Amino acid sequence: MSTGGKAAAGVSAVALVLAICMAQGCTPSKLAPEELVKAQQQPHIHAVHYPPRLEYAVITKAGGKGEAIGKYFGVVGLVTGGMSDLQTAQTIGMALRRDYGIEDPVLRVKTTLAETLARQATLSNIRPVTATMQSDDPSELKRLLGSGLVLDFKTVTWMTQYTAADASRYVSIYRARARLVALSDGKVLWEGECKGQVQDPTKPLTFEELTANQGAALKSHLHDVADRCASDLFTQLMGKDAAP
């Protein structure tokens, strides 16, 4: 292809991307400087969260029938007959949450990112909302919250699953989405997604080790992955050169 042809192809590719953005809407990967200034001048920014897109799941190679799982659920009881693999995994996850008081990591992500933005981006006007919002539709958020901006958070994936190398050992995986939305017109000013996994740095833990002492190690893993997520979102929001 000639130099002129390559240039024309490059322009066409750029034009195509722009056309898709105009048709579907492209959310900035970094908050524009002028939008940051506007955000700093807002009376308040509502920080909200939603129910997870998928409930917490504990994926075991043997479903709900493995020895370690069986020992745990022999006391509390677990019925998995006829359930799908996902339903079984979520049933185990629900029981762990109930018995050990495990919270959705999105709560920690929301709090940690809000504190980091207040400290390092002069966004001390962020006001966390305690109640769980049921809809992330901007018009519904405007009806409930009124004016200003919304910094919202939703868990996308949240699971603890066995490792490929050893089915008796587990790794925790988490993904979350965050957005900054203007309530005045429903425009999404920024959107980011974090993902990561946490396991013991030397050796993944067994189910018994994760759930010992009221799930202390499991809670620690989930706190760790939430902190990593908040740090990742801060970098996306403020730009790759920013460090929380």
Q: Which residues contact 46 (CB under 8 A, 6 or more apart)?
A: 127, 129, 141, 145, 148, 149, 150, 151
- CA 75 – CA 9 distance, rounded (Å): 66
Pairing state of beta strands 57-59 and 126-128?
Answer: unpaired
What is the pLDDT, as a whole number, of residue 241?
Answer: 62
Mean pLDDT of the chain: 82
Token readout for 121 is 């981006």
13-69 tens-digit pLDDT: 444 433 434 333 445 578 989 999 999 999 999 999 999 999 999 988 765 444 455
Pairing state of beta strands 57-59 and 149-162?
Answer: parallel
- CA 72 – CA 209 distance, rounded (Å): 12
Q: Is the confidence at residue 187, as pLDDT, over 60? A: yes
Phi-psi region of 132 (alpha: psi -120 to 50; beta: other; left: phi over 0): beta
pLDDT band at 164 (very low <50, low <70, confident <90, very high): confident
What is the pLDDT, as a whole number, of residue 182?
Answer: 95
* Pair 167, 125: CB distance under 8 Å: no
What secondary structure does DSSP assign to the chain, as a single string? --HHHHHHHHHHHHHHHHHHHHHH----SS--HHHHHHHHHSS-EEEEE---SS--EEE-TTTT-SHHHHHHHHHH----TT--HHHHHHHHHHHHHHHHTPPPTHHHHHHHHHHHHHHHS--TTEEE--SPPS---HHHHHHHH-SSEEEEEEEEEEEEEE-SS-TTEEEEEEEEEEEEEETTT--EEEEEEEEEEE--SSSPEEHHHHHHHHHHHHHHHHHHHHHHHHHHHHHHHH-TT---
> pTM here?
0.80
- CA 190 – CA 30 distance, rounded (Å): 7
What is the pLDDT, as a whole number, of residue 63?
Answer: 55
Q: What percent of the chain stands above pLDDT 90?
A: 60
Q: What is the mean pLDDT of residues 139-168?
A: 92
Cα angle 6-8-9, degrees, rounded to a multiple of 5:
65
